[in-house]
Structure 1
């Protein structure tokens, strides 16, 4: 039975039977959220929807492209239900390594009244790509296919989005920062806006390649975007990246000998050939320059900015250094104490760009 029919039955039961006599699925005081219809290779898991409020809910889906069930969290504008004829811009937020869809609560600005925010599961170390190896301990791992060919059309089919690149953004932090820039390059037809916060966006850097290897080998402590669901202040540590997989599982060999690292180079968001695909995309980069990680993300962001300048592609780099210019809670490090105020700076600019693009 489909989730839509189950919800309809729940509403009917709530009207006919006292609440105390039926289960939580049919509670009359549960806020209404949009129904989703299966499609594009995604199947919604019945009775797994988490309703945090009428504008904040999480659905769970399955797909042959990525093993296991996967959550998609959605923040709707407060006016979404009140204006059923209106369509909305949509921003996809990609979480960091060791994180989850619940990390988005650490950046309140993502709960915008000017756009829908969608947070798809990116895995503990999915790296927003289709892995070279599909038979590791984690099973199928075609994350890029899942997100770009399934989640996006699924969201457009089930929510009132404005389904064009001028009204669609992809943003992310840490691992998700590299993913956001990569997705914007891989599918410029989908995204007119992209932002990377403290992203590992230069795959030619040994430090970035080492970070990917650390996640494959489940070595905690490297490039680990903490889960705000367990550490609201963003000062905790992630608990790991899942089971050990081969060190070549995601991108193959990282060593630059005889073309062995071809997949790393093909993905590399900082490669001039990939950056050239952003000629019609609004690009924003944020980074601090303190701590073990953001010392390197600052270098990567500076490299990307310089290459974009040479290509004649407009972009905005905010290097907030030790964080003093950004927020009293930011020390220039790799956590939500910096990312939350960075999003508070970015989202209003994005909303303005969406408004300037008009509506369909």
Structure 2
């Protein structure tokens, strides 16, 4: 098994070296001013569902944009949850709102949402939970790495979702709840929608690593475990410095830490197969879910996310499950600032295309509920 881990490292290093050869194309954002004490106009949050608020840690960017910090037994350390409220939230105290959960990419943070203005919508609440630099939206097989407890899926689906429903005026049903993610978060979004169809009625994956049947996608996961900084890290986060490169994926971990051995030898990779969003048995669970896939085709990373997304679309078609697939190729059909690469120059306009459609779907849910 030791030799397998060394081979995994070699695979990850090779992919990361290739990915790092071109310039990064991450969006640059300027952090909004932070107020250390929340104004009284903000909703009051209370501990619950295994989450404990950290006193005095609330960051306020505006009356409708703030970040709380919580601790949980499911994860080591403290973790931020950014909340974007619709403009009418305070003025309409009798109204309840649909919720979209936005899952950031590898090497990213909750503040990446600032690079996608469409997600701050007056038609819905957007919640951006910390997904870790390399959490992969999974409950890790190994809980004794340098990162300690790492049950990301449990944190998000069993704690954050009910916690938000308990503290904000949401419409707490699947018809009014979406999960959207990009890159690593694109995997997380599709995986969560499959694992918990009772929670999420809408899902969108943007440039997602959504086919674990591909060796290249598995290698990208290994690169994050081993903290090999490459294009998946460099371009999947918005950095305030404008350098376009994130600082890495945190402490190195065992290459088998998240999903076990990635090698298809005597069933050693069974966990990868079980959580593969592209597996037919998993895709079948999306019947009745509103599904959207976006990807470009340029650069090393989106070359592979295009293949993965096309595979998922084809299998959904075989299952006769409706979905919308937007392959914007070199980006010319999407927006002037999109070059078809793995970055917010494409993701921001893709989300600007998606959010009005999602808002209409939420409204349709109002009429049928």
Partner of 1:212: 221
Which structure has the higher relative contact order (CA within 8 Å, separation 6+)? 2
CA offset at residue 226 of structure 1?
3.8
Matched, 1:255 2:263: yes
Residue 230 of structure 1 corresponds to 240
> Which residue does the alignment assign to 2:6?
none
Question: What TM-score comes out, normalization by structure 1 length?
Answer: 0.90
Question: Is it true that 1:94 corresponds to 2:103 in the alignment?
Answer: yes
Deviations 1:86-135 (A, max 9, x none): 00000000000000000001000000000000000000000001000000
- The corresponding residue for 2:362 is 354
Tell me the equivalent position of 2:115: 106
Q: Which residue of 2 aligns with 1:304?
A: 312
Corresponding residue of 1:295: 303
CA positional deviation for 1:231? 5.3
Residue 42 (structure 1) aligned to one of 45, 51, 59: 51
Pairing 1:320–2:328 present: yes
List per-residue Cα deviations over 1:208-242 (Å, max 9, x = no partner): 0000000000000142244325257xx70111000
Q: In 2, distance between residues paired with 1:39 and 1:228?
A: 31
1:118 and 2:123 aligned: no
Q: Deviations over 1:38-69 (max 9, x none)?
A: 00000000000001111000000000101010
- Give, in whole Å, the separation in 2 of the partners of 1:212 and 1:35: 38
CA distance in 1, matches of 2:107, 2:73: 22
SS for the counterpart of 1:358 is helix
The equivalent position to 1:155 in structure 2, one of 160, 164, 170, is 164
Runs of at least 4 residues off by over 6 Å: none
TM-score when normalising by structure 2: 0.88
For 1:63 and 1:25, how far apart are their aligned partners in 2?
22
- Secondary structure at the aligned position of 1:303 is classed as helix
> What secondary structure is seen at the aligned counterpart in 1 of 2:232?
coil
The SS at the match of 1:211 is helix
Please state how far the C-alpha of 1:25 moved relative to its aligned partner: 5.5
Answer yes or no: is 1:187 the counterpart of 2:196: yes
Provide closer, same or farther for how the CA distance between residues 59 and 247 of structure 1 changes in structure 2, counting only shifts above 3 A. Answer: same
The answer for the alignment partner of 1:20 in structure 2 is none
Q: 2:343 aligns with which of 321, 335, 338?
A: 335
Q: CA contact under 8 A between 1:87 and 1:160: conserved in structure 2?
A: yes
Residue number in structure 1 paired with 2:146: 137
- Per the TM alignment, residue 270 of structure 1 is displaced from its structure 2 partner at its CA by 0.3
Which of these residues, 274, 278, 290, is aligned with residue 270 of structure 1? 278
Which moved further from structure 2: 220-229 or 165-174?
220-229
Distance in 1 between the 2:202 and 2:225 partners? 30
- Kept in 2: contact 1:226–1:236 (CA 8 A): no
User: How far, CA to CA, are the matches of 2:232 and 2:315 in structure 1?
Assistant: 24
Shift of 1:26: 6.0
Q: Deviations over 1:301-323 (max 9, x none)?
A: 00000000000000000000000
Query: Based on CA coordinates, which of the two structures has the bigger radius of gyration?
Result: 1
Offset at 1:287?
A: 0.2
Native 8 Å contact 1:33 1:51 kept in 2: no
Query: Counterpart in 2 of 1:15?
Result: none
Matched, 1:171 2:171: no
The aligned counterpart of 1:77 is 86
In structure 1, C-alpha distance between the alignment counterparts of 2:187 and 2:307, rounded to whole Å: 14
- Report SS of the residue matched to 1:194: strand
Q: 1:344 aligns with which of 348, 352, 360?
A: 352
User: Which consecutive unaligned segments of at least 5 residues does structure 1 have?
Assistant: 1-23
Cα distance 1:326–1:110, how it changes in 2: closer, same or farther (>3 A)?
same
